[in-house]
Structure 1
Amino acid sequence: MRKKRDILAVDDLRTPELVAIIERAQEMARLWEERRMPQSLAGKRVGLVVNDTGWRNTTAFDLGIQAMGGICVHPPLRWDTREALNDLATYLDNWFDGIVTRTPDLSILRAFADLSRGPVINARTRQNHPCETIGDLAFYFHRHRKVDGIKVGVVSPESNILQSWIEASAALPIAVVQVYPEKWHVKTTTSAYRRFSTSTDMNALVDADILVTDCWPDDATPSELERYQITAAMLDRRRPDSEFIPCPPVSRGKEVSADAMTHPACRVVEAKAFLLHAQNAALEWAFEEI
């Protein structure tokens, strides 16, 4: 029996699989603009299970599933142990060919995926956010026609965005550095991810090809993090071909300054537009269409 294709973490994908998704996203972008999307999901019934306020990647999943001929339904269930996971998997398997979901915890999602017959795609957990990172990689490839050998600087405390970039460093030959005060450095050991490192020095970002930010932690004071704010002056010191992709929602005056958001290096709108195309490619891969 062929192993089903789940996307739960970036480094669950083998390198050729991840590259295939990134490359297919380029074609998906062209087909989207031409309004002739392939009907890759025709006849597929997909459950989109979301119980939080995030909207970008889940809206893109809903739109993409329908644009590729699938049926997308939003079951109003919660991953709160009200029903046993094996029961939920069995009931959902009755009606759906696959599930896209946000869950509080990655371990819950992995347990559910083990029990489910169809593919399961992680639309976000507290621990990681694989589709967001795959989307940014697909956008970078669109702009530069490569991802091998790039460096990604992540100015963020330990977070789901950072973790998925760390996962990407295991799946692809890219370097990832977290730049932040030491008290918020990720607990992941660098020995487990040999292309990942941490630093407190903002100069470690000067040669980064992609610069990513995430929100300030709730337990921080402005004085602790002011020097880690991304400003237009800081972006001016970087190479003109580098990309600044702050993670929305963006808090201007905190992790980024207002002038950084209008800087020519800021590509967040374009990158998040590309999220749709990457997720459509991921859906095709999960349903064994690529």
Structure 2
Amino acid sequence: MDLLQLADLQPADIRQIWALAGGAPGPALAGTVAWSFEGNGIRTRTTFIQAFRQLGLAFTELPHLLKTGERPEDLAGYLDPFYALYVVRESDHPRLSAFAAASRRPVINAMSAQGHPCEVLTDAYYVDRRIKPLREARVCLWGPSTNVFRSWHELARVMGFGLVQVCDRRFHEALPNVQFVEPSALPDAVDVVVTDSWPASAEAGATTQADLAPLTEEHLAAMGHPALLPTPPFTLGRELAVDPLAYPGFVGYAQKELLLPVQAAILRWVLASEKKAGTGDAHADR
């Protein structure tokens, strides 16, 4: 099974991944991972490589895998015989989806313009285990929607919990399980605030400073001094006006260490899922 977006999963899938992340290390896995990573992705790249090694998986880097002019079905047809799965960071989500549909191997989205499922599964795992069970937690997203926030939206729909998203009215959307409010109408009794870098499109369209309100210490106080979980890389003076290191509720750098067990669990989960079947099987004999 692929992991392209959280909307494709069932609650049991997510709970199984989290159970694997919190369980004892399993046996070594066999096979080679095709690994393509657009951009820096310092933390995600670090922990995926560590996860491959921890699980005994070989990996081959294929730079710019989906940046060629080849059709996705041709790429998959030629490459599938050599790999057990693909881990791909690719901004073009439709092309990533087309490749996954063509391939007989599992494909993991290590981030696209549409979503960041591995990151959000990790952060939600932290909230569920360390702060409050997710169904009871009051999670606040600060700022306009990003790929990270879209994965939070999907997770809320799948798991059946609510989100509050604080941003200027022009960024509000009609989404199930998400309550959009303006910075002047802050929610109270929030358990955790998640921030992300502002999208370039939002910054380009801002007409006043109030359109993009950075999170301040006063905002956090008004919401009951919740835990602060900034999505890195964060920038002081943009989405954050408060230095996380000076805020007692900062979840800390160690929170991102959970990327390793969660990504390892995702790898185990996709490889344990039922193998794909389709017309591309004939390529395995060539």
Which bracket does the TM-score occupy, shorter chain normalised?
Answer: 0.7 to 0.9
User: Which of residues 250, 253, 257 in structure 2 aligns to 1:266?
Assistant: 250
1:167-182 matched pairs, under 5 angstroms: 167-182=154-169
| CA shift in 2, pair 1:136/1:202, >3 Å | farther
**CA distances 1:152-188 after superposition (whole Å, capped 9, x unpaired):** 21112221011000001111121112211122334xx
| CA shift in 2, pair 1:20/1:204, >3 Å | farther
Shift of 1:214: 1.6
Residue of structure 1 in register with 2:146 after alignment: 159
Residue of structure 2 in register with 1:86 after alignment: 73
Residue of structure 1 in register with 2:112 after alignment: 125
Shift of 1:224: 2.4
User: Which of residues 103, 108, 131 in structure 1 aligns to 2:95?
Assistant: 108
User: Which of residues 100, 115, 134 in structure 2 aligns to 1:147?
Assistant: 134
The reply on whether 1:287 has 2:271 as its aligned counterpart is yes
How far apart, CA to CA, are the structure 2 residues paired with 1:286 and 1:234? 40
The reply on whether 1:197 has 2:185 as its aligned counterpart is no
Provide the TM-score with structure 2 as the length reference: 0.86
The letter for the 2-side match of 1:108 is R
The letter for the 1-side match of 2:210 is E
| CA shift in 2, pair 1:204/1:23, >3 Å | farther
| CA shift in 2, pair 1:201/1:67, >3 Å | same
Out of 48-57 and 118-127, give the one that drifted further.
48-57
**CA distances 1:102-155 after superposition (whole Å, capped 9, x unpaired):** 112222121111111111101000111111110001111231462223222111
- % identical aligned pairs: 28
Residue of structure 1 in register with 2:282 after alignment: none
The letter for the 1-side match of 2:64 is L
Alignment length (residue pairs) = 270
The letter for the 1-side match of 2:120 is T
User: Which of residues 247, 255, 259 in structure 2 aligns to 1:275?
Assistant: 259
Out of 212-221 and 13-22, give the one that drifted further.
212-221
CA root-mean-square deviation: 2.2
| CA shift in 2, pair 1:221/1:285, >3 Å | same
CA contact under 8 A between 1:232 and 1:260: conserved in structure 2?
Answer: no
1:1-290 matched pairs, under 5 angstroms: 5-27=1-23, 37-41=25-29, 43-144=30-131, 146-186=133-173, 189-190=174-175, 194-201=176-183, 203-216=185-198, 217-219=202-204, 220=206, 223-225=209-211, 228-239=213-224, 242-288=226-272
CA contact under 8 A between 2:186 and 2:223: conserved in structure 1?
Answer: no
How far apart, CA to CA, are the structure 2 residues paired with 1:180 and 1:170? 20
How far apart, CA to CA, are the structure 1 residues paired with 2:187 and 2:54? 39
Shift of 1:202: 5.1
SS in 1 for 2:144: coil
SS in 1 for 2:179: strand
Provide the TM-score with structure 1 as the length reference: 0.85
CA contact under 8 A between 2:38 and 2:91: conserved in structure 1?
Answer: no
The letter for the 2-side match of 1:99 is Y
How far apart, CA to CA, are the structure 1 residues paired with 2:20 and 2:53? 18
Shift of 1:233: 3.3
CA contact under 8 A between 1:210 and 1:245: conserved in structure 2?
Answer: yes
**Structure 2 residues without counterparts, runs of 5 or longer:** 275-286
How far apart, CA to CA, are the structure 2 residues paired with 1:60 and 1:75? 18
**Structure 1 residues without counterparts, runs of 5 or longer:** 32-36
The letter for the 2-side match of 1:207 is A
